[in-house]
Structure 1
Amino acid sequence: MRRENYNDLLAFIAVARERSFTRASAQLGVSQSALSHTIRSLESRLGLRLLTRTTRSVAPTEAGERLLLTVAPRFEEIESELAAVTEFRDKPAGTIRITATDYATKTILWPRLSKVLRKYPEIKVEIMTDYGLSDIVAERYDIGVRTGDQVAKDMIAVRIAPDMRMAIVGSPGYLAERELPRKPQDLTAHNCINLRLPTLGGFYPWELKKGSRAVQARVEGQFAFNGTYQMLDAALSGYGLAYVPADLVQAHVAAGRLVRVLEDWCPTFPGLHAYYANRREFSRAMTVVIDALRYRPEDTKP
């Protein structure tokens, strides 16, 4: 049966259930003559009489009864599923997939989402740790998290953090045995902890800047990791210098567990942004998640 004839089946179901063309036509919002013509056309195509009509009543034939019992439940299932889908529009529900670095996840995503999502048990969130700058459209992510300068121009970006200052740190024990670096070139004499990037299989160059002078320092050392917190742990253990977000090491520096070096060469990057593709349909779940992550300067004030 052609798809456009499904409406004929719905018309038959209405008449068979109501046992009346009058009531069925009122339910469907069509005239009795049009409804009668629809049923006759359906019977003609099937080559079967589906309804027995008298001046007083309408009843399904044996074939009509079988069709009613088998087809009607399937249409009810379809209607039920369509109703369930529309709930995604009416209430926050569904799965939101996010790709972010471990630093963004631990310092921003988890603290903010964990406070909000208890109110929305129908929202599911998947957070994948990734330093590969994934294509969120190709990889079917709903949201990506990057610094503002890394967000593609065709994406919609929402700031979720203030500008990010970087820091180069080492433990007092490690630095006690070596001369402090005064310029980026001095890093060649140091054991530096690298960040391995999945893109091109290389290490992340330390992006340093002083005034108008910019340097991408390619450092070497005994350890390399694919996560910020492992690099921090290695630095705390005295294995060398690490290049990490300054807010991550602030408490360690204040407590004397780490020492900052080359401070005048450590740049400030545009803050982290949550970004997503420009879609016409924007689910309530996405609205809840984006609003929870949105940066509000007043939230950081004491």
Structure 2
Amino acid sequence: MMLDNLRGMAVFASVVGHGSFSGAARQLGITTSAVSQQIRSLERDLGVVLLHRSTRKLSLTEAGASFYESAKDVVAAADQGRIKVNQLRDELAGSLRIATTPELGVNHILPALSTWMSAHDDLSIHFLADNHYIDMIDERADIAIRMSPQIKDSSVATYPLAEVKQMLVASPHYLRQHEKITKPKDLVNHQLISIDLMKDPSTLDFNSIETGKKNRVKVPSRIQTNNVFLATTLAKEGHGLVRVMSLDVQKELASGELVEVIPEYALPHFVLYAVTLDREQQPAKITRCLEVLKKNFHAAA
């Protein structure tokens, strides 16, 4: 009933503004009889006559004149609301919520988006940094950055950003102090800093790059954590080996603080995705942000 009244108010305001049913019909793209029906229905719901009708002209009743002011305000508010919605859809304004891990956020997402964020100061950006997957609807996330071999969820759209190598790393100090590692089975004599976020964190599956032969090994682990930053720091301090995504340790590899162990054997690769809720039409702020991220990761590949 409320929606019908709002529709009737819009029709009524158009009739008064044009001074005729036919003028309102042309503006609204409906028939003159439909306009007349809307006005009759509105008058019936309100219990008053709004318009005096004659063959020559329309005139407002006292109740109609009073109601017209309210109808104008409602129509103006609706128009303003539509303008704001269109701005949020078509312009880089409003709020953008991005979910990522702390490591990816600091090392890659922020550097990728920093210049873009500075250029669009009407955009309010909220970073959700967590090592666990969040519910995008509950957290109102617009974009989530996720690492997964495959994402199967019909409610989301996925955009591959980069293929990411998984690697086993350690500090040079640790490797000097412990038995030499030349093949996966040597790892049983070492300590793994395991990250709880990974499935079966202390079991490693390798493929020989030369022969393709598969090697599975369970590595002893006395230190565990649920944080990649902490695990990486423990490895730099010489407390053991750590399995990480190459994206998370680029700086440490470049500086020599960490080195890859047995690079002749490959751990499974992953794909880094940007994920959005599957909508027919994405707001411009989301599509532009995705473009910047894809361009950045492809350039870094």
* Counterpart residue number, 2:201: 204
Judge conservation of contact 2:104–2:248 (CA < 8 Å) in 1.
no
Q: Taking structure 1 as reference, are residues 46 and 97 closer, same or farther at Cα in structure 2, changes over 3 Å only?
A: closer
Gaps of 5+ in 2: none
Distance in 1 separating the partners of 2:255 and 2:22: 84
What secondary structure is seen at the aligned counterpart in 1 of 2:92? coil
Change in 2 beyond 3 A, CA 1:134/1:183: farther
Specify every segment of 5 or more residues in structure 1 that has no aligned partner in the other structure, as ranges. Answer: none
Counterpart residue type for residue 67 of structure 1: F
1:81/1:216 CA distance change after superposition, 3 Å: farther
> Does structure 2 conserve the Cα–Cα contact (< 8 Å) formed by 1:167 and 1:246?
no
Show the counterpart of 2:70. 70
Residue 21 of structure 1 and its aligned partner are, at CA, apart by 6.0
Change (3 A) 1:127 1:192: same
Displacement, 1:147? Answer: 3.7
- Corresponding pairs, count: 296
Partner of 1:151: 151
Residues 124-273 of structure 1 correspond to what in structure 2 (within 5 A)?
124-134=124-134, 136=136, 140-147=140-147, 149-152=149-152, 154=154, 156-172=157-173, 174-197=174-197, 204-205=201-202, 207-211=204-208, 212-215=213-216, 217=218, 219-222=220-223, 224-246=224-246, 248-249=248-249, 252-253=252-253, 255-267=255-267, 269-273=269-273
Q: 1:214 to 1:285 in 2, by over 3 A?
A: farther
| Deviates further, 97-106 or 31-40 | 31-40
In 2: Cα distance, 1:112 partner to 1:93 partner: 19
Shift of 1:284: 1.5
Q: Percent identical across equivalent pairs?
A: 26
Worse overlay, 138-147 or 281-290: 138-147
For 2:202 and 2:95, the matched residues in 1 are separated by 35
Q: When the two structures are superposed, what TM-score results if normalisation uses the length of structure 2?
A: 0.76
Report the CA distance shift for 1:3/1:158 in structure 2 as closer, same or farther (over 3 A): closer
Q: Which amino acid aligns with 2:205?
A: L
> How far 1:175 sits from its partner (Å)?
3.6
Can you list the C-alpha shifts for 1:269-302, whole angstroms capped at 9, x where unaligned? 144222334432222222111111115787348x
Partner Cα distance (1:187, 1:161) in 2: 29
Q: Deviations over 1:128-171 (max 9, x none)?
A: 23333445467653333334513227454333234424132124
Structure 2 residue identity aligned to 1:158: Y
Aligned-partner Cα distance in 1 for 2:21–2:207: 84
- CA offsets per residue over residues 58-101 of structure 1, 9 Å max, x none? 54333223322334313321221122112233323443433332
Match runs of 1:72-151 below 5 Å: 72-134=72-134, 136=136, 140-147=140-147, 149-151=149-151
Cα distance in 1 between the residues matched to 2:85 and 2:135: 27
- Note if contact 2:160-2:273 (Cα within 8 Å) is conserved in structure 1: yes
Taking a change above 3 Å as real, the CA distance of residues 81 and 218 of structure 1, as seen in their structure-2 partners, is farther
1:51–1:59: 8 Å Cα contact kept in structure 2?
Answer: yes
SS at match of 2:168: strand
Q: Tell me the CA shift for residue 28 of structure 1.
A: 4.9
Shift of 1:186: 4.3
Q: Calculate the aligned-residue CA RMSD, in Å.
A: 3.7
